Amino acid sequence: MNILIVGGGGREHAIAAAVAKSPKAEKIYCAPGNAGTAAIAENVPIGVMEFDALADLAVEKKIDLAIIGPDDPLVGGIVDVFEDRGIRTFGPRANAAILEGSKAFSKNLMKKYGIPTAAYENFDDPAKALEYLETAKMPIVLKADGLALGKGVLICNTLEEAKAGINTLMVDKKFGNSGNTVVIEEFMTGREVSVLSFVDGRTVKTMSSAQDHKRAKDNDEGLNTGGMGNFSPSPFYTKEIDDFCQKNIFRPTVDAMAAEGRPFKGVIFFGLMLTDDGPKVLEYNARFGDPEAQVVLCRLENDIIDVMSACIDGKLDETDLKFSDKAAVCVVLASDGYPEHYEKGFEIKGLEAFDGKDDYFCYHAGTKLSDGKVVTNGGRVLGVTALGDNIAEARAKAYEATEWISFANKYMRTDIAKSAVK
């Protein structure tokens, strides 16, 4: 089969690596890809929002399966464009990707179908939002309705901060039209867990759980990022919690989308908080997480092409998902200064140390080839990932492997997965 993967981050490198393991994969294309995907696929320099150019490529290269990685093209309707041109595509259509594309939509869906989540109100008028805040309990959480690179969530400790936040989102429009509507929601406390799942419109099959580290600095200090590292499975996500979530969150969400005439096919990423009142949904994503894909897909034992085909054909009930018993830890090597200002274009050395080592993976995120050398090309540069018999062993191996790599301004957190090692 000819496969096209749309995207160019660590998630797409992890997807490409999983696809490359399938005996069904003949030729893999990645658009735009990075220096890591270049080693297993042919990179094509087309941006993820250039739907017509991508569809032309898929037709020209006789693509049998297109896999869409990032949220922007999914929410923007790339799957509709591809399917209308007869290209078999893994990912939700726009009317289902709205589960991630609009937080107001997802909150209303959860309310309508009784899916546990934080109490909230939606506002499209800043004056009404400010009035509501006057009597609201602090801390409180403000969320831009639309996509904002994971940065449209403000946790406000005081009324003053919350008022300033409304101005940032709704008046100054820091995240553009994403802030036209704002969700104001109750602040919850608890441990966060990510559960990714394959969905075929009717059936949902969950993958192994993971836990992300979103803040830039150790001890969860610093700004929110796309994710600085993570581990899988989460020891805090017990069988009992899973039973509850399957019955009260995962199946109801998929059923709700079908009942609304928006059948979801692809990956739903459930962002959960384990509160004292039980698990609640923090957010939905309509795709694999980055770096969640890295720690989950390296442990998937099924042929990923079979699983994705089952999702497209509505036959996921016939699939038994299998994951290795090993634990995985991913430590992101970033450019110092991320997620704000950072430099790029520095040569990366030491990548060959991963060659031929079974339990070690170096997923490229912000890298590119320049004059035959691999150079830094983004905030998150590499996702150094290792497998071990337990989280402690995987963690020790991942940190060991971070030492093999060098580049100017290399930065990482030193406490990834630390809280899971006890």
> Binding residues for ligand GLY, per CB under 6 A?
150, 212, 226-227, 285, 289-290, 292
Confirm if 332 and 227 have CB atoms less than 8 A apart. yes
Least gap, CB of 312 to ligand AMP (angstroms): 28
Confirm if 228 and 214 have CB atoms less than 8 A apart. yes
- Decide whether 8 or 226 has the Cβ nearer to ligand GLY: 226
Binding partner of 118, given ligand GLY, ligand AMP, none, CB within 5-8 angstroms per partner class: ligand AMP
Confirm if 156 and 165 have CB atoms less than 8 A apart. yes
Residues 6 or more apart in contact with residue 78 via CB below 8 angstroms: 6, 48, 51, 54, 68, 89, 91
CA pair distance 15, 195, nearest whole angstrom: 17
CA pair distance 233, 211, nearest whole angstrom: 8
DSSP character at residue 399: H
Least gap, CB of 97 to ligand AMP (angstroms): 15
Counting contacts by CB under 6 A, is residue 154 touching ligand AMP? no
Counting contacts by CB under 6 A, is residue 132 touching ligand AMP? no
Binding partner of 417, given ligand AMP, ligand GLY, none, CB within 5-8 angstroms per partner class: none
Binding partner of 283, given ligand GLY, ligand AMP, none, CB within 5-8 angstroms per partner class: ligand AMP
- Decide whether 284 or 361 has the Cβ nearer to ligand AMP: 284
Which of 296, 298, 265 is closest to 68 using CA atoms? 265
- Decide whether 117 or 309 has the Cβ nearer to ligand GLY: 117
The structure tokens 């897909």 sit at 297
Binding partner of 77, given ligand GLY, ligand AMP, none, CB within 5-8 angstroms per partner class: none
- Residue 300 pairs in a beta bridge with 323
Least gap, CB of 206 to ligand GLY (angstroms): 16
- Per rule CB under 6 A, count of chain residues that contact ligand AMP: 15
3-class SS of residue 413:
coil
Token duo for residue 218: 């150790």
Among 113, 132, 187, 244, binds ligand AMP (CB under 6 A): 187
CA 44 to chain centre: 23
- Decide whether 22 or 206 has the Cβ nearer to ligand AMP: 206
- Decide whether 107 or 287 has the Cβ nearer to ligand GLY: 287
CA pair distance 319, 421, nearest whole angstrom: 32
Binding partner of 200, given ligand GLY, ligand AMP, none, CB within 5-8 angstroms per partner class: none
The structure tokens 């553009």 sit at 176
CA pair distance 417, 392, nearest whole angstrom: 8
Counting contacts by CB under 6 A, is residue 71 touching ligand AMP? no
Least gap, CB of 85 to ligand GLY (angstroms): 28
Calculate helix-pair angle for 10-20, 304-313, nearest 10 degrees.
100
Counting contacts by CB under 6 A, is residue 236 touching ligand AMP? no
- Decide whether 145 or 185 has the Cβ nearer to ligand AMP: 185
Confirm if 349 and 405 have CB atoms less than 8 A apart. yes
- Decide whether 11 or 143 has the Cβ nearer to ligand AMP: 143
SS3 for 22-70 is CCCCCEEEEEECCCCHHHCCEECCCCCCCHHHHHHHHHHCCCCEEEECC
Least gap, CB of 69 to ligand GLY (angstroms): 10
Binding partner of 36, given ligand AMP, ligand GLY, none, CB within 5-8 angstroms per partner class: none
Token duo for residue 214: 């979103």
Counting contacts by CB under 6 A, is residue 384 touching ligand AMP? no
* Residues between 310 and 369 with contacts to ligand AMP, criterion CB under 6 A: none
Among 50, 192, 242, 359, binds ligand AMP (CB under 6 A): 192
Phi then psi dihedrals of residue 105, to 5 deg = -60, -50
Token duo for residue 129: 């939002």
Among 97, 129, 195, 282, binds ligand AMP (CB under 6 A): 282
Among 48, 94, 104, 141, binds ligand AMP (CB under 6 A): 141
CA pair distance 232, 246, nearest whole angstrom: 18
- As a whole number of Å, the CA-based R_g of the chain is 21
CA pair distance 268, 363, nearest whole angstrom: 22
Question: Which segment (91-99, 156-164, 186-194, 316-324) binds ligand AMP by CB under 6 A?
Answer: 186-194
Question: Which segment (3-11, 54-62, 179-187, 260-268) binds ligand AMP by CB under 6 A?
Answer: 179-187
Counting contacts by CB under 6 A, is residue 188 touching ligand AMP? yes
In the complex, the residues that contact ligand AMP under the rule CB under 6 A are 118, 141, 143, 150, 153, 155, 185-188, 192, 214, 271, 282-283
